[in-house]
């Protein structure tokens, strides 16, 4: 359980470090997904931990970070597709 808690603490730290100046925001998204999966593989967390992580993921600033990253990834795919059509 201690190992699982450390993984969740890392998730919170990644969100805290995820600033607007970050060049590779998708890297943060991937890191968070990986950490959450690794923690989930260790079993169900205690309710207080699950509640804290849920609140962190749903915090307005963090939701905005996730949406901004997703939108940028979609835009990059569209630009790549449009660029491929023009060549």
Q: Which residues contact 65 (CB under 8 A, 6 or more apart)?
A: 15, 18, 25, 28
pLDDT digits (tens, 9 = 90+) for 59-74: 898 888 888 888 888 8
pLDDT grade, residue 84 (50/70/90)?
A: low
Is the pTM higher than 0.75? The answer reads no
Contact 54, 15 (CB under 8 A): no
Instruction: Find, among 70, 41, 36, 42, the residue nearest to 56 by Cα.
Output: 36
């Amino acid at each position: 359980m201690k190992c699982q808690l450390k993984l969740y603490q890392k998730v919170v730290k990644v969100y805290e470090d995820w600033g607007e100046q970050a060049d590779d925001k998708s890297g943060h998204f991937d890191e968070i997904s990986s950490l959450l999966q690794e923690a989930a593989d260790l079993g169900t967390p205690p309710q207080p931990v699950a509640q804290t992580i849920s609140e962190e993921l749903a915090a307005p600033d963090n939701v905005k970070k996730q949406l901004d990253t997703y939108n940028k990834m979609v835009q990059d795919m569209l630009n790549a597709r449009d660029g491929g059509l023009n060549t």
